[in-house]
C-alpha cells in the first residue's frame, strides 16, 4: 500500500510539472526570446494586435513579483510589436467583472479569482522602448515585473491563467499607470513597489500598511509585512507617481490644438 501511494504521488507530481511546461510554452509551442524588430515593417501596439486577434498573449506568473508574457503570432507573417509601458494582468475568473465605466472592480465580492496584478517589461530594448518582432507561428517570451493590486485575494501562481489589459480598464487613476511603469523599470524594491500599489489600488492607508503582518509557521511570532524604511520609500514613490500624472495631464491640457486634431474631432462628431 505504501509503495502504491508513493507511485501515485510521483505520477501526480509528474503531471503537475508537465502541465506547467505546457502552460509556459503556449500549449506545446516552445517559446523563444523576443526577436529584434524587422526594418521596413510597421510597429503595432500589442493591445491593437490583441483586439484584431492577430496575436494571443498569456501572462504566466512565477510569483507576485515576476513572470513571463507569452506572445503567439497568429497572423501568418512576421509582426513588429510595441509593448505597452504598463498593463494589468487579470485572472481569467475575474475578467467578467470589469464594468463598462472602466471602474476598478475591487471589492465587488463577485469573484474568487487571484489578485489582479500590474507591471510591465523593462523598456531597454536597443530597437526602442519595448519594440520586438514575432516570427509567424512562433511564441516569444517577454520577462515582466509585477505587483499585486487587490489585497485580500489569492496570490498569483503559475497554475493560474492570466490575460493582460490596459491599466485604464482597471482604474481611472492615472497615477497608478505611472506607478506601474516604475514597477516595469525595476528601479524600486518589490516591497516598496508593493506597499505603494496596495495604497493606491486597494485604498490601504499608510497606517494599515504599517500594521500589516504575516503569519509565520512553527509558532514563530508574526512579522511586519513592511519596514518603516520601505514604507517611507513607498510614500515617496506614490507621491512621485501622482505628481508625474498631474504634470502629464497639465501638459496635455496646455498642448495647442492642431488642424489634424480638429479634423479628427469633426469626423468623430459626424
Domain ranges of the chain: 29-263
Q: What percentage of the chain reaches a pLDDT higher than 70?
A: 74
CA 34 – CA 132 distance, rounded (Å): 6
pLDDT score for 256? 60
What's the chain's average pLDDT?
Answer: 81
pLDDT tens digit string along 233-253?
Answer: 999 999 999 999 999 998 887
How crowded is the C-beta side of 194, counted as CA atoms within 13 Å? 21
Looking at residue 188, the DSSP 8-state letter turns out to be S
Lowest mean pLDDT of 189-198, 216-225, 253-262, name the range: 253-262
Would you place residue 24 in the very low, low, confident or very high pLDDT band (cuts 50, 70, 90)? Answer: very low
Lowest mean pLDDT of 33-42, 69-78, 213-222, name the range: 213-222
Helix (H), strand (E) at residue 6 = helix 2-24
pLDDT score for 2? 42
**Residue 104 CB contacts under 8 Å (≥ 6 apart), including other chains:** 170, 171, 172, 201
CA 43 – CA 131 distance, rounded (Å): 8
Would you place residue 113 in the very low, low, confident or very high pLDDT band (cuts 50, 70, 90)? Answer: confident
pLDDT score for 262? 39
CA 215 – CA 223 distance, rounded (Å): 7
pLDDT score for 138? 96
Residue of 75, 87, 88 whose CA lies nearest to 49? 75
Asked whether residue 266 carries a pLDDT value surpassing 50, the answer given is: no
CA 198 – CA 206 distance, rounded (Å): 10
Beta strand segments in the chain, E: 31-33, 43-45, 55-61, 66-73, 79-82, 87-91, 117-120, 131-134, 139-148, 162-165, 213-214, 223-224
User: Region 2-28: what's the mean pLDDT?
Assistant: 42
**Residue 76 CB contacts under 8 Å (≥ 6 apart), including other chains:** 136, 137
pLDDT score for 225? 95
Asked whether residue 111 carries a pLDDT value surpassing 60, the answer given is: no
pLDDT tens digit string along 26-45?
Answer: 456 799 999 999 999 999 99
pLDDT score for 122? 81
pLDDT tens digit string along 154-195?
Answer: 999 999 999 999 999 999 999 999 999 999 999 899 999 999
pLDDT tens digit string along 114-143?
Answer: 999 999 998 654 444 589 999 999 999 999
Asked whether residue 93 carries a pLDDT value surpassing 60, the answer given is: yes
Which residues are bridge partners to 59 per DSSP? 69, 162
Angle, helix 190-201 to helix 228-254, in steps of 10 degrees:
60
- What the block records as the C-alpha cell of 202 is 486597494
CA 8 – CA 169 distance, rounded (Å): 44
CA 35 – CA 54 distance, rounded (Å): 17
Instruction: Kindly report the pTM of this predicted structure.
Output: 0.78
Rounded to whole angstroms, what are the CA distances from 174 to 50, 100, 178? Answer: 23, 18, 7
Amino acid at each position: 500500500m505504501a509503495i502504491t501511494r508513493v507511485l501515485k504521488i510521483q505520477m501526480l507530481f509528474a503531471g503537475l510539472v508537465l502541465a506547467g511546461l505546457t502552460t509556459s510554452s503556449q500549449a506545446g509551442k516552445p517559446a523563444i526570446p523576443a526577436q529584434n524588430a524587422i526594418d521596413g515593417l510597421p510597429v503595432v501596439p500589442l493591445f491593437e494586435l490583441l483586439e484584431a486577434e492577430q496575436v494571443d498573449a498569456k501572462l504566466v506568473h512565477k510569483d507576485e513579483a515576476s513572470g513571463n508574457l507569452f506572445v503567439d503570432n497568429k497572423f501568418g507573417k512576421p509582426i513588429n510589436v510595441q509593448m505597452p509601458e504598463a498593463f494589468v494582468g487579470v485572472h481569467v475568473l475575474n475578467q467578467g467583472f470589469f464594468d463598462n465605466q472602466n471602474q476598478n472592480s475591487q471589492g465587488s465580492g463577485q469573484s474568487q479569482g487571484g489578485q489582479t496584478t500590474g507591471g510591465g517589461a523593462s523598456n531597454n530594448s536597443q530597437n526602442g522602448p519595448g519594440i520586438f518582432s514575432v516570427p509567424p507561428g512562433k511564441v516569444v517570451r517577454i520577462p515582466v515585473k509585477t505587483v499585486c493590486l487587490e489585497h485580500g485575494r489569492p496570490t498569483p501562481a503559475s497554475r493560474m491563467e492570466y490575460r493582460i489589459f490596459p491599466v485604464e480598464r482597471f482604474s481611472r487613476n492615472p497615477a497608478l499607470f505611472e506607478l506601474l511603469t516604475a514597477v516595469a523599470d525595476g528601479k524600486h524594491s518589490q516591497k516598496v513597489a508593493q506597499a505603494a500599489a496596495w495604497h493606491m489600488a486597494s485604498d490601504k492607508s499608510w497606517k494599515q500598511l504599517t500594521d500589516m503582518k504575516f503569519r509565520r509557521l512553527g509558532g514563530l511570532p508574526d512579522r511586519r509585512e513592511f519596514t518603516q524604511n520601505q514604507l517611507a520609500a513607498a510614500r515617496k514613490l506614490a507621491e512621485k507617481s501622482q505628481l508625474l500624472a498631474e504634470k502629464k495631464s497639465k501638459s496635455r491640457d496646455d498642448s495647442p490644438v492642431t488642424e489634424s486634431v480638429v479634423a479628427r474631432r469633426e469626423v468623430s462628431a459626424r
